[in-house]
Amino acid sequence: MQRIGVFVCHCGTNIAATVDVKAVAKAMEKEPGVVFSTDYTYMCSEAGQTLVQDSIKKYGLTGVVICSCSPHMHELTFQKAIAKAGLNPYMLEIANIREQCSWVTKDIKVATEKAIVLARAAVAKVVLNSPLTSGTTQVTKRALVIGGGIAGMQTALDIAEAGFKVDLVEKNPSIGGKMAQLDKTFPTLDCASCIVTPKMVDVGQNENIRILSYSEVAEVSGFVGNFDVKIKRKARYVDEDKCTGCGACTEKCPMKKIPNEFNHNLNNRSCIYIPFAQAVPKVATIDPRYCLMLNKGKCGICSKVCQAGAINYKAKDEYIEEKYGAIVVATGYEQIKVDKYDEYAYSQSPDVVTSLEYERLMNAAGPTNGHLLRPSDGKEPKKIVWIQCVGSRETCDPTKGPARGKPYCSKVCCMYTAKQAILTKDHYPDTDLYVFYIDVRTPGKNFDEFYRRAVEQYNVHYIKGQVGKVTPENGKLMVQGSDLLLGEQVHIEADMVVLSAAIEPSPTARPLATMLTTQMDTNDFFTEAHPKLRPVESATAGIFLSGMCQGPKDIPETVAQASAAAAKVIGLLCKKELTNNACVAHPNEMMCNGCSQCQGVCPYGAITYVEKEFRMPDRTTKVRRVAQVNEAVCQGCGACTVTCPSGAMDLRGFSNQEIMAEVDAICQ
Amino acid sequence: MQDELIRRACELLEDGTVNRVLGWQKGQFVYDITPAVFTSVEEVKNNFVYNDFCGANLSKYLRSESEKEGKVLVFLKPCDTYSFNQLLTEYKIHRDNVYAVGIECYGKADVEKLRAKGIDCITDVKNENGTLKISTIYGEESVPAMDVMAERCLNCKSKKHVAYDELIGEDGEVLDSHRFDEVEEIEKMSAEERFKFWQSQLSKCIRCNACRNVCPACTCEKCVFDNYDSGAFNKAPANSFEESMFHIIRAFHVAGRCTDCGECSRVCPEHIPLHLLNRKFIKDYNELYGPFMAGAEVGQVSPVVDYTKDKDAEASVVQKGGAE
């Protein structure tokens, strides 16, 4: 016979102001199985927990019902508390009389009634609860980091420093990401490549890190501590181990008119290429779209000039499979395509550039060797206009078709625009610079000082207002905008226009989220498990977030988050074993009819079928096909239990019988 | 047709392809023909029957027959082949132990419709080019087959055999049937009218379990209605609502697996139009998930029990971002 104790929490006034807690406690005294019922101000406090523990001993309780906040908040707290008093932690039920009751109404009578019903349902269930024990699984001591930008590199380095093996997957031929393409960084103006390339070298030389460049994640299965990942290694037609990165092939390659992605297509590269001088790994890659040998079967010059014999035209995409304990997503960002902004004439004039293109135009390693020259005629621009929030902070009327831009602030544009303006003025003091802005947002250490410097010391003209139209005319760009402070139209005859295009998550993010069964928001940014308290974890156990894939952030924030994600991964990999979910599905083999429907609905692939010999009532034996659940993989979602037509599949801790008892109690 | 089937069955028995024949034989009366297993040429020659009363779907009997030693020959009408495939999909039939012969079908007679025409006490039936020649103890009767055809055959969904090892007669096409018309009529009713309709129908149920026992989708090791722990255990009905729940639970259980063979309605001694419950599900499936026909192919997965990461994971990905 079960002996149940009911503990009704006031939660200060959170519950007690709306629910008559004494009445709830009193009503529960009459429920079958209940031997003790009481209320207390803060059940989760130490005194409250002691009250529960003492009552367990005093009244010989076999099960406990806590009427309090959501089980999300304190189920674990109370499970631990009753376990200390000698009860199995699964002999606990929480009736949520706060979020589902006192917080949703001000009517005391209604709230109290509902609280009593919820408590009654919890009592009905706990009477049927049985003690459960969790199994354990080993943790694979290896992490996977997806994305080799500054976020991914920092995470990989920190995990590797703690002594764990890390695989760093990067879709491009080299790691480095967007930061390697930047010129200087705000607000200190230190050179981006001077700080990022040593990091790339560190990653390349770290014994615990394996760089899988020019690779993509193809398939993910498994669960926290034991992910099975299939990684596609795209054929680069160059043996990474043999290639010395001498560059002879890139010089001799006859196909030299390939748009150079690293320089945002502002100049050309050869078909066999090393993306940039400091690339890691510094090996050549053949672009299969253009290679004469691969497409037409003639040429083969790179193979002839390669001293190391690294060229292999017969290379094929390869797949490797590896086990990981944790996965970190660091897929970064892209700038939105600005061609749909016809008013800014991006598609009409080469002198209208995006801010990332401008970075390359200023960069000493860029297409112009650091001389700021207009893409159209190679002349130095004298008048430059920046347009802020191109596609950021854009609200739209959904009835008028899809939005062109994004509703959010891209966060970094205000600061890099000030930086670009300052750098331009530094190199070319005779230029005339204009910035059209909605607001200038400069929260951050030394950020506002930096922006003030652009305005006050460098005399950059900041104009509050948006640009209506950019018209290319006689080699000039006629910019027409409004100055909201003066309330008048502004016309500027500019030589160049720079668009601070909104940033968006990498297009690879969504398919990856699907593979990882993790969550995203409407903008395709990965969703963190808790916006404030668990910012680097995804809601899926064992999947962590690093950098821009979670939301817009600058480099210091990215690095901080990358290290935080690494700390979480290290914490996980340090564990000897992980406790499995105790509430898993289990089939009643005598009733299973082998139809395989449960296998089809299991999102985790936890169900398999086996042919098993059974002894029949008439002493014969029969081989039958029955379901089996891998308890380490099962997440207890219950999809199989509702699918099974025979009711052969049931969920521990949430059995059909327990749930029906709850429903019956509610409908009493 | 009957002679043709008997000839072929005997051939296959004699050449050792099969050691048993699953077919039909006369029941207590001419019109209540029942499925039967024949183990010898003599039995087949003496007892095998195939006529306009052979409505019974033989697929379900393969569940136990195909577990036995040796091959069994089965005759499948087009609609039966769907059940056959569905059972294969659910691993309920050992395909290697079955030799399936598809047979042509023009629709089967409904004895109730004959009775309604005053034709009773039947002693023999023959189909002569679409006209039923019926002998009764009162004399000879003649009636167009279409006039007394079973509802499920008038609304035949397919004359195509979706599975067979050999075919006797011609294979047909999937038909553009009007089988959902009646469902639409019920959908048009108000909630009260609909409740009344079903209450009046389902309250006739005597819980004989004939529908469950004949249903090719009802192949559980232990039915929930026979399982004390299921919460749906067979209890003495306190009111007619209990019996309603039996049929509604059953309709849910076979949803996505029901091939609309219509056996449930055929065998119901109370003439409850049970097939309408199943058809409502099929209609909803078609409308919500696109055309889906259970049993059309072996291995196909019903849309509601089909979880695929690339298609369905999206649904679990939160579509609404952050706070609004």
The tens digit of pLDDT for each residue in A580-604 reads 889 999 999 989 999 999 988 887 7
Q: Which of A519, A597, A600 faces B317 most closely, judged by CB atoms?
A: A519
Q: Which of A517, A525, A590 faces B221 most closely, judged by CB atoms?
A: A590
Q: Judged by CB atoms within 8 Å, which residues 210-239 of B form the interface with A?
A: 219-224, 227, 229-231
Tell which residue, A115, A269, A222, A91, has the closest CA to residue A652: A91
Stretch among A166-175, A414-423, B249-258 having the lowest mean pLDDT: B249-258
Quick one: pLDDT at residue A518?
A: 87
Q: Which residues pair with A62 in a beta bridge?
A: none
Question: In chain A, how long is the greatest CA-to-CA distance?
Answer: 101
Mean pLDDT of chain A: 94
Looking at residues B189-202, what average pLDDT do you find? 92
Quick one: pLDDT at residue B240?
A: 65
Residues in chain A within 8 Å Cβ distance of B63: none
Q: Which of A515, A592, A647 faces B224 most closely, judged by CB atoms?
A: A647
Q: What's the rounded Cα separation, in Å, for the pair A33 and B231?
A: 21
Q: What's the rounded Cα separation, in Å, for the pair B313 and B304?
A: 14
pTM: 0.72
Confidence of residue B235 (pLDDT cuts 50, 70, 90): low
A490 — phi, psi (to 5°)?
-120, 135
Stretch among A29-38, A581-590, A602-611, B50-59 having the lowest mean pLDDT: A602-611
Quick one: pLDDT at residue B321?
A: 34
Tell which residue, B255, B218, B246, has the closest CA to residue A646: B218
**Is the confidence at residue A187, as pLDDT, over 60?**
yes
The more confidently predicted of residues A50 and A616 is A50
Q: How far apart are the first and last CA of chain B?
A: 71
Q: Which residue has the tokens 């790179």?
A: A302
* Chain A positions touching chain B (beta carbons under 8 Å): 513-515, 517-523, 525, 527, 531, 590-597, 600-603, 609, 622, 624-625, 639, 643, 645-648, 656-657, 660
B129 at interface of A, judged by CB pairs closer than 8 A? no
**Is the confidence at residue B314, as pLDDT, over 70?**
no
B12 Cβ contact list (under 8 Å, min separation 6): B18, B21, B73, B99
Q: Do A645 and B230 touch (CB under 8 A)?
A: no
The more confidently predicted of residues A222 and A386 is A386
Looking at residues A48-58, what average pLDDT do you find? 97
**Is the confidence at residue A287, as pLDDT, over 50?**
yes
B92 at interface of A, judged by CB pairs closer than 8 A? yes
What chain B residue is nearest to A600 in terms of C-alpha separation? B306
Residues in chain B within 8 Å Cβ distance of A600: 301, 305-307
Q: Which of A520, A592, A647 faces B227 most closely, judged by CB atoms?
A: A647
Quick one: pLDDT at residue B316?
A: 41
Quick one: pLDDT at residue A540?
A: 85
Quick one: pLDDT at residue A246?
A: 94
**Contact, A295 vs A281, CB < 8 A?**
no
Quick one: pLDDT at residue A264?
A: 94
Q: Give the distance from residue A566's alpha carbon to the nearest chain B alpha carbon, in angstroms.
A: 25
pLDDT digits (tens, 9 = 90+) for A124-165: 999 999 999 988 889 999 999 999 999 999 999 999 999 999
Q: What's the rounded Cα separation, in Å, for the pair A43 and A211?
A: 51
